[in-house]
A and B are shown apart, each in its own frame.
Chain A
Amino acid sequence: MNEIRTLTIDGQLISADASVTILEAAKEHNIHIPTLCHLEGLSDVGACRLCLVEIEGHNRLQPACVTRVEEGMVVRTTSSRLQKYRRMVLELLFSEGDHICSVCVANNACELQDLAYAAGMDHVRFDYLHSTHALDASHDRFVVDHHRCILCARCVRVCADVEGAHTWDIAGRGHTAHLVSDLAQDWGEARSCTSCGKCLLVCPTGALFAKGFVVSDPQNKQDFLRYIANTKSRKAWKDE
C-alpha cells in the first residue's frame, strides 16, 4: 500500500510517495537540484554532495538523492549557503584531481565542467594536490586516467548492478581513495571485466575512455542513458 507524504520544497506544497527521495520528488515537480554521482537507472550513494539541500530543523545539509521525503518536511534547494557549498565541493574536486580541460577527452561534454559553469566557478581557490595517480592503459581497448576520477562510483554501480561483473570498486579512504579493478590489479589483468564498456558511457568526466579517442572527443552517451532509464522503469534487471 502506498503511503503519501506532504512536504514543502522551495515554498511549493507537494505530495509524494513515502518511498521516494527528495531528489525524485523535486524532479517530478520540475524543481532542479544539481547532481553528479546520481544517474537515473543506478542506485544512489550520496558520494558527490552536489545535491545537498537545507531541511528546516536540521543544522546539517542533507543529500537529496538519499534522503527520503517525510511528512511536514520543509526543504530549500537554493540559498546563498547552498550555492557557497556547491561551488566549494566543485572546487575541491578540481583541486584534488588533474582536471586539465584543454587536453581532456571529455572537454565540452563533461558533467563536472558543466556544473562548474553553472556554479560560476571562474577559478579554484584551493591549492591543487598535484596527486601522482597512475594512468592504466593495460586493457586492450580502454584506459582509466585516475587523475580525472572524482570517485562518483557510477562505474562501480553500472558494472555491479547492470553488467553484473563488479570489476570496479573503490579502495582506500580520504584522499587516498581510488578506483580499483578486481583485486587492485591492472585493468588488463582483471578477469571479471567483460569489456562491455558501460563504465565508459556513464563516466561523468574523462576518467574512463576508449583507446583512439583523444582531446574533446567524447563518446556518445545519450542513447545508453536512455536505455538505462527505460530498463530501470521496467524493472527489467533488478527485483525491487
Chain B
Amino acid sequence: MEGRMSIGSIWLGGCSGCHMSFLDLDERLFQLLERADIVFSPLSDRRELPDALDVLLVEGAVALSGQAELLRDFRSRTRTVVAFGDCAVVGNVTAMRNHLDLTSMLRHTYGAEGARMGHDPAHHLPAMLDEVLPLHRVIDIDIFLPGCPPPADLIWYTVHELLEGRHPVIDEKRLRYG
C-alpha cells in the first residue's frame, strides 16, 4: 500500500448531493481506486476512524451539536481538507434558517401552533446550532470546491491534481456557485 493515497469523506449539514456527484465520477472511480483508497465515507462500510488521512472531502455545513468537534478531530488527522460543495463553502440552503428563530421555525415546520412536539428532542437528537456555519469558520480549509453540487468533472480535476501531488487551482474558469 506504499504510496497509495488515503481519501475520506464526511457528510454534515447537506443533502448528500455532493456525494451523489462524487459517484458521478463513474468509470473514473476505478482510475481513482487504482491509486487511492477510500478509507472512510458515508459511501463505504468501514466504520472505524482512520488515524491519518491524506485527503478529506467534507460535504455540508456545521449545523448540529457535535459536528464542530468531529470536524476538528478530522482536521487533526488530515493533510488536505476540501470544503466540498456550496453548503461547506458558504452555508447555502442549510444556512437559510440562520435569520429565523429556531424554536418557532421547528414549530412552524413540524407542529401546529400550540401542538405538543413529542419528546424533548435535546435528549434524543443532536441539537440544532443557532447559527449554521460554513466550514472555514470552524477549521482551516485547504481547498474550496463550490457548486451545488460540484460537477463530477470538477471533482475529478481536484482529486486528480491531488493524486499528482499538485494543488488544484479553483479559479475564474472553474468557480461556479449554485
Contacts and interface: CB of A to CB of B under 8 A. Distances in A.
Contact of B144 (A113, A116, A122, A131): A122
**Interface of chain A, main secondary structure:** loop
Interface string A81-101: 000000000000010001011
Query: Which of A98, A100, A120, A127 has most chain B Cβ within 10 Å?
Result: A100
Contact of B96 (A98, A107, A116, A118): A98
B92 interface: yes
Contact of A122 (B91, B148, B170): B170
Nearest to A104: B178
Contacts of A108: 178
A128 interface: yes
A58 interface: no
Interface residues of A, number: 25
Interface string B131-175: 100101100010010101000000000000000000000111001
B98 A121 contact: no
Nearest to A107: B178
Interface in A99-135: 100-104, 107-108, 113, 116-118, 120-125, 127-128, 130-132
28 contacts: A98-B99, A100-B92, A100-B95, A100-B96, A101-B92, A101-B177, A101-B178, A102-B93, A103-B96, A107-B178, A113-B178, A117-B176, A121-B175, A122-B146, A122-B170, A122-B175, A123-B89, A123-B90, A123-B136, A123-B144, A124-B90, A127-B137, A128-B91, A128-B98, A130-B95, A130-B99, A132-B99, A216-B178
